[in-house]
Amino acid sequence: MIAKHRSTQNVHRFAVFTAACTFFLLIAGALVTSNDAGLSVPDWPLSYGSLMPPMIGGIFYEHGHRMVASFVGILSIILAVWLWRVASRLEPSRRWLRWLGIGALGAIVLQGVLGGLTVLFFLPPPISSAHATLAQLFFTTVAAIALFTSAWWENEPVVPRRDFATPSIHTLGIFTSCAVLVQLILGAAFRHKAFGIIPHVVGAVVVTGLIFWFAGTLKRRFASVAELRLSARLLHVLIGVQLLLGGAAYWSRLYAASFPQPIPVMVTLTVAHVVTGALVLMSAVLTTLLCYRLVRSAGAAVTAPAARATAAD
Amino acid sequence: MSKSLWYFAAAVTLAAALVSCGGKSNQPAETAAPAAATGGGKTVDSATAGTVTGTIKLDGKAPRPKNINMAAEPNCAKEHSTPAQTEDVVEGDNNTLQNVVVYLKGDFSQYSFPNATEPVMIDQKGCQYHPHVLALQTGEPLSVVNSDPTTHNIHPVPKDNREWNESQPPGAQPIMQSFARPEFAPPIPVKCNVHPWMKAYIAVFNNPYYAVTGKDGSFTIKNVPPGTYTVTAWQETYGSQDQMVTVGPSESKTVDITFKANSAASD
């Protein structure tokens, strides 16, 4: 039992490390677009016919992004294999974790292919937008793996809360997460010139409303549950920051339009807006997962909690 | 490890290998066979052909060029003793405008024009394109030269022609390309994604009746068959201006066009 607990905790730490590296990869990717460096390396998968081109100008961002992506790809392979081995030894109800690791690995392989296609076909907006969105989905998936392998998640809650209200907190969480994902797609489509800003602005209004509804409901119905209270507070903070960053990023793009090259303030604000969007998605999804873990809907049966596994077992 | 995981790993490896075998390096792009500009078959009678000349000017104050920050690329910065500047609006003496594409719009379908085979050169020097604006004919060779001690990628972004993007290390051979279709309203923007301040424009025509103004803002279009034409001037900041001209046999006509400094391009 001690060995099983320790190996889950080790894979949890590795998942956290992978999620952190993925967040850094999101920054690297956003820097490529904001610096208009997406096509500074015309070939793929090599860069200027080699593994290490001169790291000058836009090549620094584009090839640097490829290097970080390769590193995260290696981490994903290790995570998938490790998770498969660890999860295979868990109780049957948790063995599905193996497939989440495989799914994450599949996602980053697909990301690599999409990235290559953006280069080979000169940044077609649908593929560039898919590449941007899948990056954020992959980040959320790895963060979810970290949550599922955490010691906290492994421990059965003593008494799950009940939710008798309508809509249920689960429904709110799913709707909010889906709305955030759609908003990220609209943002990516604007950033990669598929269409204008209006859909993304409308989406911002919808998402803000849903996040306030979701987070507000969490605080009202489950004020005594620390995890849900903190999640609600995080969602409030993130959406506030994201709205400010969105306005600032758009202003900076208009201001920078007359400059001969991307300027630091525009690059910083647009990159910050992109990665904060990823954090909003991750928070909404993980909060929804917490709701499923800690709260039972009105119609669900509540089973007697299993004996809690401890390190002494 | 279970069988299913081995199969999946094999599938991922195979997919990665297949993708790795793809990829585009500096393969020569398809070059359109130099086409006759029009198919009419008739040649312009030089005995009756005329000339259209003129000067392009700016009414008002031109915006001040912006300094380009090349600090991120020392190989570029060291080529300039003073900061390089943008070339959106290059004004000469007496308010004349450089880098304006001037062309005739009319019915040239009855004429055939000789294939233009002499390459038109664009040079990357001091991490700027020289010239900033150029014009050539469909099928006419474009020679891209890198005179800089650094790597560039040259990336035209056309609407009606095939897009391409090629890298060019220092000392590399000139890249030879051409454009199969006319594209001049607006011209094709060209950029370098390694050095995002680099910008140029290429106008492509299917006849020889075009010019790009020099430092004195003047243009000359020769061997024009008698007829009535629209003279169009395009400038990247101010857009397009038109004037009508009728050229009689062996006549030389002067068409001066003035852009207003407070107008902006919508094309």
Q: CB distance from B132 to chain A under 8 Å? A: no
Largest interatomic CA distance in chain A: 67
Q: What pLDDT shows up at residue B42?
A: 87
Q: Which two tokens stand for residue A108?
A: 């980053």
Contacts of A49 in chain B (CB under 8 A): 25-26
Q: What is the mean pLDDT of residues A194-202?
A: 95
- Tell me the backbone φ, ψ of residue B260, rounded to 5 degrees: -95, 135
Q: What is the DSSP letter of A301?
A: -
How many helices (DSSP H) and strands (DSSP E) are in chain A? 9, 2
Spatial separation of the C-alpha atoms in residues B152 and B154, rounded to whole Å = 6
Q: CB distance from B2 to chain A under 8 Å? A: yes
B 248-267: CB under 8 A from A? none
For residues A175-197, b (16+ Cβ closer than 10 Å) or e, as one string?
bbbebbbebbbbbbbbbbebeee
Question: B51 pairs with which residues across the strands?
Answer: B252
**A57 with B195: Cβ contact below 8 A:** yes
Spatial separation of the C-alpha atoms in residues A268 and A273, rounded to whole Å = 9
Q: Is the pTM of this model over 0.95?
A: no
CATH code at B28-260: 2.60.40.420
Report which secondary-structure segment, H or E, holds B7. Answer: helix B3-20
- Of A235, A247, A240, A312, nearest in space to A279 by CA: A235
Contacts of A41 in chain B (CB under 8 A): 153, 167
Q: Got the DSSP string for A202-217?
A: HHHHHHHHHHHHHHHH
Q: CB distance from A41 to chain B under 8 Å? A: yes
> Which amino acid, residue B247?
V
* Residue of chain A with shortest Cα separation from B68: A260
**B66 with A102: Cβ contact below 8 A:** no
A 208-227: CB under 8 A from B? none
Q: Which CATH class name applies to A161-300? A: mainly alpha
Q: What is the DSSP letter of B93?
A: G
Q: Are A88 and A11 in contact (CB under 8 A)?
A: no
Domain boundaries, chain A: 1-155, 161-300
**A122 with B165: Cβ contact below 8 A:** yes
How close, in Å, is residue A274 to chain B by CA atoms? Answer: 21
Spatial separation of the C-alpha atoms in residues B230 and A219, rounded to whole Å = 70
CA angle A194, B165, B202 (to 5 degrees): 90
Tens place of pLDDT for every residue, chain B, 267 residues? 455 555 555 555 554 444 444 433 333 344 444 444 456 788 998 899 999 999 999 999 999 999 999 988 999 999 999 999 999 999 988 899 999 999 999 999 899 998 888 999 999 999 999 999 999 999 999 999 999 999 999 999 999 999 999 999 999 999 999 999 999 999 999 999 999 999 999 999 999 999 999 999 999 999 999 999 999 999 999 999 999 999 999 999 999 999 999 877 765
Q: Are B88 and B51 in contact (CB under 8 A)?
A: no
Question: A297 pairs with which residues across the strands?
Answer: A163
